[in-house]
Structure 1
Amino acid sequence: MKDRNLTEITQKLNFTVVKRSISLKLIIAIMLSLIVSSPVSAFINSLIKQYIHGNYGVYINALISLLVTTVVILLFVRLIIIKPLNLVEEAMHTASEGDLTVTIRHNSKDEIGRLSSSFNVMINNLIELINKANHTVLKINDYSDQLSLISEENSKAIDHISSSIQKVASGAEGQAQNSIDLVYSAKEISKRMDQSASSIQTVANTSISANSKANAGNDSVNKTIYQMREIQDSVKKTSDVIHSLNIKSNKIEEIVGMITQIADQTNLLALNASIEAARAGEHGKGFAVVAEEVRKLAEQSGSATESIREIIREIQTVTNDAVESMNQGRKIVEKGMELVDHTGYSFSDISKYIEEISRQSQEVSTVVKEVNQRSLNMAKMIEEAASVTEQNSGNIQTITASTEEQSASMEEIASSISELNDMSDDLKGYLDSFKIVADTN
């Protein structure tokens, strides 16, 4: 009650201060209007006195002065009070429609300025509240999704456990009978283990003989490897010789080309000499005969060099084929070397495996004897386990009932989470109806 009275007193004081402040502004506006309108009234009065005399002039002057003063007062009131109030009213109307991005920019320290500041603070507080509510809704949605996922996983796990328990329960019933069969089987295993021990010893003896033959095969492979390496060296040398022959054939072809050029030049010189001999007349006949013979020799040289070139080209073709064949042969020999090496490694591995088999056969023989004894012990343990299985069957039924109750509880939790999601979505939709500045946090 005391707080309520204090609030009413504060509101009355605030109203009084606001009223006085507005009255003060009105007084200031009237004073300013009088100051502004006085020169105007004086000017109008002087004009009226020039043209109108008597009481009419006084009346008209008073009327015009009143109109001017009223207009000036209205302008000042609109500028000082009404315009800021319109800004506040527009901002409040915009905010009432859900747009909280609006702010009032009124820097005065009067009541309207304080009202604008309070409005801006209220908008900022609302924006902060909505942002916090949005963050809270998002966190609630995340937690709800996580809880829903966990609930689904737990439900699946419980269903799986329940199914597994039922399978175990059904299996436990037949396990007792199986235990009896296992006892009989264990005794049969003991008998066959004795037979296996004898067979394993035979395998060990056979492994020793196979190891000896594998060693002999490994020696043969080593000899083959040595011979394949000699073949590989021979093929490489032959390939190098053919490659050298190919290079020399190319050089011969270059020399033949030079000879062809010389023969062409000689033929040209002989032709020029024949022309000069014809010009010399009788004195040049002997020289013409010599020039003709030189020309014939040049043509024969050209024909011979062309034949040599053809032969060299055939040699180069054969040489290139031989080089290609030698390269293929070398690749085949290298591949054969790899295969022979691989075979040697295989024989070596086989020998090691056979030795390992022989060693393990001895160990297995010893283990078989131990297994034989343990089979007898196992038969006794299986008989004891059969009685324990019967007890477990009753416990499994109790666990099955508990898992069914747990599954029902998880379904109720899932339903509650779904309702929480719906409520969160409704709240998010309501908050989204407000237009606010984006949260930078």
Structure 2
Amino acid sequence: MINSIFLVIYFSNKWGSQIITKATAKEEEVNKLVLKLQTTLDKVGESSSVLINNVSMLESNMNSIVESSSESTKTMNEMVKGTEHQAASINEINSNMTKAMDDVNRAKEISEQISNNSALISEKVSEGTKKISAMITQMQTINQAVSAALATVNELQTNIGDINESLGGITEISEQTNLLSLNASIESARAGEQGKGFAVVAEEVRKLAEQSAMTANNIQEITDVISSNSLAAVNKVNQGEKAVEEGNTLLNEIGEYFKDVETAVNETFALLNAENKMINDVLNKFIQVQERIENIASISEEHSASNQEILAAIENENSDILSIKDSIQEIKQMSAMLNEMLYNIEQ
């Protein structure tokens, strides 16, 4: 019994020693683990502090980034609005340019019509000038003919005067012959029978003298009529010559007027041609400017679309930045909680 007790005590001591040895070894292991844990916790604390500092710096940087991104977004919004306003202004300019081109085209059409009408007027005036020149030539011919007719009538009047003088001589001779015949008849009557033959001759001479006188009177009447008619003709010819001279004067004045009109029309036609050339040049310039405006409008629209895409990208980036900022806030909060836990563990 006693041996059994000793055995029990012996084995109990032995087992207790073993347990104590093992417990001591375990305690040493635990102390080592605790030391390692403490070292790890210290490192975690240091890392957490560094993390908190870095997170704070990152948060500050993120706040700056958010502010910069907000400013960039505002700037891009203003740029987009400015680009849209610029595009609208360019489109309005393009519309005004189109209207201006329409006005220039209408002015060109009107100018071309005026030029065509001026060309027709120039042709008509040129034809009128030629006709006036031909009329002046004809009037000169008529004037020459009238002058020749006047000279002929004057010569006829002179000849009629000569004829009248000759008729006067014939009448005088006829009267003298008639007087001689009367004397011869008287003498033949005195001579009686012997003067009968001479009386017959005297009678025949008297008849011939009377016929000559009658013929001279008839010719005188005819020449008087011719003279009267020729005087009337002279008056008419003089009037005609005066009218021709006045007509020549008027035609010369009209000819000068037509020349002035022709010169003015030609100058106007030349100015219209120059104006047409200028209008064509302006129209070409308008076309070039409109093409450039259309190119600028296209580029502006592309730029506006690009700005819209950039703005959308910036807004997406802002959203991502805000998400990152929220994540940083969560990390900061978790780091604070970790520090608090470490502090509680160390206590």
Question: TM-score when scaled to structure 2?
Answer: 0.44
Structure ranking higher in helix proportion? 2
Greater Rg, structure 1 or structure 2? 2
Question: TM-score when scaled to structure 1?
Answer: 0.35
Q: Which has the higher contact order (CA 8 A, sep 6+)?
A: 2
